Structure 1
Amino acid sequence: MKKIGLGKRVLACVASAATLLTGTTALSAVGMQVQTLTASAASYDNYAKLLQYTMYFYDGNMCGSDVGSASQFTWRDNCHTADEVDGGYHDAGDHVKFGLPAGYTASTLGWGYYEYKDSYDALGQTAHLKALTDRFCDFFKASTKLNGNDVSSLCYQVGKGQEDHDVWCSPESQTDQSLRTAYWTSDDASDIAAEYAAALAANYVNFGNEEDLTYAKALYNYSIRTNKAECPAAGNFYGSYDYYDDQAWAAGWLYLATGDSSYKTFLNTFMNASNAGKSGQSGCQWGVYSPMSWNNVSLGAAILQSEITGSGSDWSKVTTYLNGKCTSESQYYCEASWGSARYNTTMQLAALVTSKYSAQSGKDYSGWCKAQMAMILGNNPKNVNFVVGMDSNSAKYPHHRAASGYSSFDEMKNQTGYSANGHTLVGALVGGPADANFTYTDSVNDYEANEVALDYNAGIVGAAAGLYSIYKTGSIDSTIEGVNGSAVVTTEATQATTASTTRATTTTTKATQATQATTQSSSTSSGGATYSKNLNQAVDYDKLPATDRMIGWSWKDLGVKPSDKVTKVAVNITAKSGEIGKWQGAFGS
């Protein structure tokens, strides 16, 4: 082994007591065995990793008295423990719990799992998805007071919108209870009640909790009985234009849950009448349907109807709309300048589900979705991946109080980046470019380009699962900085999808022992290819030069192509006394 320095063509691993042998007290007495080395390059089609990462965003937005144990993020803790309705999720970079986007998010997450269950199962991600949707549904049930089979009152919001937005601090440090008003109604919020019902019914379809179905039925009945959507406290934040689309969405899920024809009749009546597409984002008329969003789910309802009826005429309405949106594989689909990435990725979800039923719908939009997702993941003029933490070129400074590390607006004022106390908001989809030319600035103060929210991630999670179901590309990460549960994945699922890298990506005790028994190493290229390298190299740390305790390998020894851009390197190491762990580093070239 010769001494190697850092350079474009060289991978070097610097060993130190702090970074390499954490927890080992006698370095000079330790003999090391470098067994596996993994180098990961940025990839525009790593759908397995995309699915894994985008779900973690919700761990960052958890609220309640159990966050410290429930969230996978090491830097999140209990907050707002005196809320009248405990639990749930903060809406965006703020700390309000708004009912409409939460209901939309939970139902859309449930939709993605319903359509692409096999992707979650194959990648070992089902347990995480279920934990997230269960948490949403537990909050919806806690926000609902039942009187028999009917709803007597409903909590549609926790927190004062404007007053909360006027404060910048972490949720753990926000102790002003005057900001945490719970808003209840007994004759309003039909749209929110219907979205809660849709989410609960979808969760029942997916996981079979009878209580979810009981509440879903009651909330649906309340919604169609009250037929009112004003909710003054939501005001300028999530003011709804109507409730018909939400009720149709809920009816579709309740039909799938129960087989009761009355729900199917309601769905068909809405979708086949002039009510279809009545909602409009910001008052605009988008056409027969609208892009799926917190304010309009008519497209999702239309797709559910088409699945249920199997009617070619129903599918044709959906594809006519999608044909006007899914047009170019070379130009970024930008529906609106504020939060364009959310509309883009949710349109992908709708298009992928339609493509899944191509035998009935007659259309396959998978190529368009693949191209659009590549742009989201960095194949764009800015070379920016709009999913935080996923690659070295990912957006780094989302408009998010908890992650930013700032304790006041005065601290944050005129800043672009985060404070020294900031954290990586792993998996968050930022708002994205303002136009098809990718006008974008990565700044904590730019809430149009860098806001994050529950509804922003709802579509991309399902789209990632859909793309993985088609292309089967990518692999999950076994270790993610700041995330406790990133190694929680079953060995069987990993073997089923990435057989050549099972031992490098799974960190259960059994799998770690298996790693020690082999010496296979893998390197993922920008094109998704996998290289292998057997190292099995013994190193006596004490015998390395005291002034240059560095070991390394040439990129060509791993088979990495000159055209690849390596962004992450991991080295598995064992000591004579047992397993040490994994060293990781990030490389920009």
Structure 2
Amino acid sequence: YNYAEALAKSMLFYEAQRSGTLPSDQRVPWRSDSGLSDGADNNIDLAGGYYDGAGYIKYNFPMAFSTTLLSWGVIRYKRTYEALGQLDYVLDTIKWTTDYFIKCHPEPDVFYGQVFGDPSVDIQTWDRPERLSADNRAVYTLQGNNPGTDLTAEVSAALAAASIAFKSIDYQLAIRLFNKSRHVYHNIARQTPQGLYQYSITSVFDHYPSSGFQDELAWAAAWLFKASKNKLYQNRARRHHVVSSTEFSWDVKTAGVQLMLDDFDKQDLYPRVATFCNWMLDSGPRTADGLLHLNSAYPAKYAANAAFILMLAYEKFPRAARATEWRALGIKQINYLLGDNRKGQSFVVGFGDQPPTQPLHKGSSCPLPPAECGREFREVNSPNPNVLYGALVGGPNEMDDFSDLR
């Protein structure tokens, strides 16, 4: 498969998700400025960041995880990004988030954790993000008795990882990102009372509920140690480290923490990394065509995340007893999503012979202005008029069946 093409198109997806004032070199012609008044009711500028999925909500928790992984990719595969002409694009993608996160932390003990939080309104409204009303764009504050230990620790991890990604390219920016990461970690994530963010931002209970925050605290500390070599963070990463998991996702970071700790910890964490990878080999539920089906609603992204860990584990432990099996399973996941299945179905919009044409996405499904948009464009059975290049759709069911319908 043409992995270079798939990578390039994934960068276009992020550009299609941008909120705020778009740059002159924006490459997605059907997108323009939006969400410019975000935060205005609180006298704070929160324009920027990314919309999540199909709608208008800026969920900072999964946004931060995506940014951490993108930065990890740059740190690990910078030369590949350069060779493929994608380094500038991925760095712009990372910086689009970090610029926004810096805005979200205007005071030492305050972090704005989300913009627009009513999923029922988000689901019912079907229009371009450029036509968003400034009304009801509520912002949600994490502070004091409204903690979000998990979310703010993930933001700290994202900023620390980004600081490493930028270190050889823009040293002053890297220093700023590291300092902001440290401030978020010490002033908010580690402050008491600690708690899951969904008890402070209750609208996420049915959408992005967190299962715990110890893994995020370990994840943040591990990235801060990688960025600074300060033993304080190494010790804290050990202290908060969770023993095992069977997924790697926006919610569960344990497998990533274990790979990072093994880089700089005298404790041998290979058995725990191997346990994760071998569980995927031996017990991970799979479709007949070989996709790890770890989540019924969004199997594609969970399989891709597992593939990332499997490939990193292979690179780190190439002589492990089952390392070649880890690699093969990781490659199979990516190839499946690009079309290596009985139906030749790609799950990446705009890629392959049979890509999805009706991703559930408001901006992509609306006709270009001045034409009006509305819920009828959610229901119509026809390809989206704007191609959402690089989007990874939810994926097939357990029987490898996929319905290309919004």
TM-score range, shorter chain: 0.7 to 0.9
Q: Indicate conservation of the 8 Å contact 1:315/1:361, yes or no.
A: no
- Residue of structure 1 equivalent to 2:189: 223
Distance 1:322 1:141, change over 3 A: same
Alignment deviations for residues 44-69 of structure 1 (CA, whole Å, 9 cap, x no partner) = x21111211112110010001x2253
Q: Give the C-alpha shift of residue 185 in structure 1.
A: 2.3
Aligned counterpart, 1:333: 292
Following the alignment from structure 1 to structure 2, what is the Cα–Cα distance between the partners of residues 55 and 401? 19
**Cα distance in 1, alignment partners of residues 164 and 319 from structure 2:** 23
One-letter code aligned to 1:223: A
Match of residue 74 from structure 1: 29
C-alpha distance in 1 between matches for 2:270 and 2:319 = 7
Q: Which residue of 377, 380, 385 corresponds with 2:338?
A: 377
- TM-score normalised by structure 1 residue count: 0.61
SS in 1 for 2:262: helix
CA contact (8 A) 1:157 1:234 kept: no
Deviation at residue 220 of structure 1 after TM alignment: 1.0
Quote the residue 1:439 is aligned against.
401
CA distance in 2, matches of 1:72, 1:290: 37
**Shift of residue 123, structure 1, vs aligned partner:** 1.0
1:196-345 matches, cutoff 5 A: 196-208=155-167, 209-221=174-186, 222-226=188-192, 227-229=194-196, 230-231=199-200, 232-271=202-241, 276=242, 288-309=244-265, 311=267, 313-327=268-282, 331-345=290-304
Provide closer, same or farther for how the CA distance between residues 127 and 259 of structure 1 changes in structure 2, counting only shifts above 3 A.
same
Distance 1:360 1:140, change over 3 A: farther
Instruction: Provide, for residues 19-47 of structure 1, a one-character-per-residue CA deviation record: whole Å limited to 9, x for no partner.
Output: xxxxxxxxxxxxxxxxxxxxxxxxxx211
| Distance in structure 2 (CA, Å) of the matches to 1:442 and 1:248 | 39
Query: What is the rounded CA distance, in whole Å, between the counterparts of 2:266 and 2:388 in structure 1?
Result: 41
Once the two structures are TM-superposed, the CA of residue 360 in structure 1 deviates from its matched residue by: 7.2
Structure 2 counterpart of 1:405, from 366, 373, 376: 366
Equivalent-residue separation in structure 1 for 2:49 and 2:106 (angstroms): 17
Give the one of 112, 130, 135 matched to 1:172. Answer: 130
Aligned partners of 1:212, 1:70: CA distance in 2, in Å?
24
Give the superposition deviation at 1:309.
Answer: 2.2
CA drift at 1:292: 1.3
Provide, for residues 122-159 of structure 1, a one-character-per-residue CA deviation record: whole Å limited to 9, x for no partner: 1121111100001111111100023xxxx221100001
Match of 2:113 among 132, 140, 156: 156
Partners of 2:272 and 2:320 in 1: how far apart?
10
Report the residue type matching 1:263 in the other structure: Y
1:552-567 superposed matches below 5 A = none
Alpha carbons 1:68, 1:76 under 8 Å: kept: no
Q: How many residues align?
A: 376
Residues 201 and 213 of structure 1 are in contact (CA less than 8 Å); yes or no, is this contact kept in structure 2? yes
Distance in 1 between the 2:318 and 2:400 partners? 35
Higher mean displacement: 75-84 or 358-367: 358-367
Shift of 1:409: 5.3
- For structure 1, the 5+ residue unaligned runs are 1-44, 278-287, 445-589
CA contact (8 A) 1:202 1:257 kept: yes
Gaps of 5+ in 2: 40-45, 168-173
Distance 2:300 2:266 in 1: 31
Give the Cα–Cα distance (whole angstroms) in 2 for the partners of residues 200 and 402 of structure 1: 29
Q: Distance in 2 between matches of 1:179 and 1:240?
A: 25
Residue 483 of structure 1 is matched in structure 2 by: none
Task: Identify the residue that residue 520 of structure 1 maps to in structure 2.
Answer: none
Q: Secondary structure at the match of 1:157?
A: strand
| CA–CA distance in structure 2, aligned partners of residues 405 and 170 of structure 1 | 7
* Bigger-Rg structure (1/2): 1
- The 1-side partners of 2:232 and 2:195 are apart by 21
Structure 1 408/211 Cα, relative in aligned 2: closer, same or farther at 3 Å? same
Determine which structure has the larger helix proportion and give its number. 2
- Which stretch of the first structure deviates more once superposed, 316-325 or 231-240? 231-240
Q: Which residues in structure 2 correspond to 1:2-81 (within 5 Å)?
A: 45-64=1-20, 66-67=21-22, 69=24, 71-81=26-36
Letter in 1 for 2:150: D
* Structure 2 residue identity aligned to 1:309: D
Question: Which has the larger share of strand?
Answer: 1
1:417 & 1:326 partners in 2: Cα distance? 39
How far does the alpha carbon of each residue in 1:507-552 deviate from its partner, in whole angstroms, 9 at most, with x for none? xxxxxxxxxxxxxxxxxxxxxxxxxxxxxxxxxxxxxxxxxxxxxx
Distance 1:382 1:106 in 2: 32
**Structure 1 pair 90/413, CA: closer, same or farther in 2 (3 Å)?**
closer
RMSD of the alignment, in Å? 1.9
Query: For 1:191, which of 130, 150, 159 is the aligned residue?
Result: 150
**How many Å separate the matches in 1 of 2:157 and 2:379?**
42
